[in-house]
Amino acid sequence: MAALPKHAQIFQQLHQAIQRGDYKDGSRLPSEAVLGRQFSASRPTVAQALRELSRLGLLERHKGAGSFVRLAPANTGTFGLLADGLGATEIVEPMSVEISRAARALGWNVVMGAAVADRSPDLIAREWAERGVAGVFFAPIEHHPVRMTMNRAVAERLHHRGMTVVLLDRDLEEFPGRSDYDLVAIDDFFAGFELTEHLVERGCRRFAFVARPAFPATTDLRLAGARAALAPVDKAQLEFAVGYPHDVAWLKKLLKRTRADAVIASNDATAAQVLQTLQQLGHQIPAEIKVAAFDDIRYAQLLSPPLTTMRQPCADLGIAAVETMLGRLRQPTMPARRILLRAELIARKSTAKTGDSHAEK
């Protein structure tokens, strides 16, 4: 997985120092200027890390006086985290680590659950209720014949047993529908928009947007963002294609039909297959075709060529998820919220211009 942003690194180190007891309850942290020198970071970057600690209830910040440690009470309660294939999921897995860290800082335990798709919603809800969890972070199932029905049933059974539900990464509903549960995710529409703008700036006008079958609703949002970015671009065209990009014949037909000079894949795993097949077909990347995707999973920079992608801010998403859960517990009747964080464009060689020395290696 890619390195954390600087503010997230500072957050983690200060959080660990507080948990070790380096800073006692009520003690004052060093000033932003001192911390900036300590971590070789700007004051705004330090301030962002301190704000995250404050939002989690670990700091009290007093104007003109500084930031003071406020330790959470022990054994506040337990949250559950429910995801299909947890442990093998590139995005939900690191997000779950950050959720556990943020929750423990406030005295909450987090218990994990996986293998959702092959179990009944009633059984899932009963087991979580027997564990005494106050709320469940739920990453909806992607690969299931009737996934929307299954996801709705899981969330409803949890809710009916008195547990708060916060969705991770994607909604229960298919695009453009929205559920009545809080959602914490990246802004997939804007991620698609920004990635497409990047490719337009590099001269691309003929786009193929590629997804594998049974793609999640996040793909629809990313596709909508790409189309919005191309709307004002003269002579731009985009075709959405669903298939298996490791299928040489399928991708060859797509390229012949679209004459694409850019392929946007719905995620990095799909992009890895696109790159391999393009190379089998003898295409030069990025000279002939530029390739980009979403997520910045751990091997994206190890592909050949390294993949341009929209990085998910997993640490920030984990913190936001805990904040959202605690807010919902405090105010259970407020309208459902969508907390959408901005993904970061990571430009690498798969979309570089000829002679471009600024692309990440």
Q: What is the pLDDT of residue 52?
A: 82
- The DSSP string of 62-90 is ETTTEEEE-PPPS--EEEEEEETTTTS-T
CATH number at residue 329: 3.40.50.2300
Q: What is the pLDDT of residue 200?
A: 98
In a domain, 251, yes or no: yes
Domain range holding 42?
6-69
pTM for the full model? Answer: 0.80
Residues of the chain under the 50 pLDDT cut: 1-2, 357, 361
Out of 69, 104, 120, pick the residue that ends a domain: 69
Q: What is the pLDDT of residue 143?
A: 75
Asked if residue 145 and residue 65 are part of one domain, the reply reads no
Asked if residue 278 and residue 134 are part of one domain, the reply reads no
Amino acid present at 250? W
Q: How many domains does the chain have?
A: 3
Asked if residue 139 and residue 171 are part of one domain, the reply reads yes
For 27, phi then psi, to 5°, come to -75, 155
In a domain, 166, yes or no: yes
In a domain, 1, yes or no: no
In a domain, 199, yes or no: yes
In a domain, 361, yes or no: no
Out of 35, 69, 103, pick the residue that ends a domain: 69
In a domain, 84, yes or no: yes
Q: What is the pLDDT of residue 18?
A: 83
Query: How many whole angstroms separate alpha carbon 91 and alpha carbon 96?
Result: 9
Query: How many whole angstroms separate alpha carbon 49 and alpha carbon 7?
Result: 5
In a domain, 265, yes or no: yes
Buried b (16+ CB within 10 A) or exposed e, 58-89: bbeeeeeeebebebbeeeeebbbbbbbbbeeb
Name the residue among 257, 237, 188 with its Cα closest to residue 216. 188
Asked if residue 49 and residue 84 are part of one domain, the reply reads no
Query: How many whole angstroms separate alpha carbon 124 and alpha carbon 82?
Result: 9
Asked if residue 82 and residue 15 are part of one domain, the reply reads no
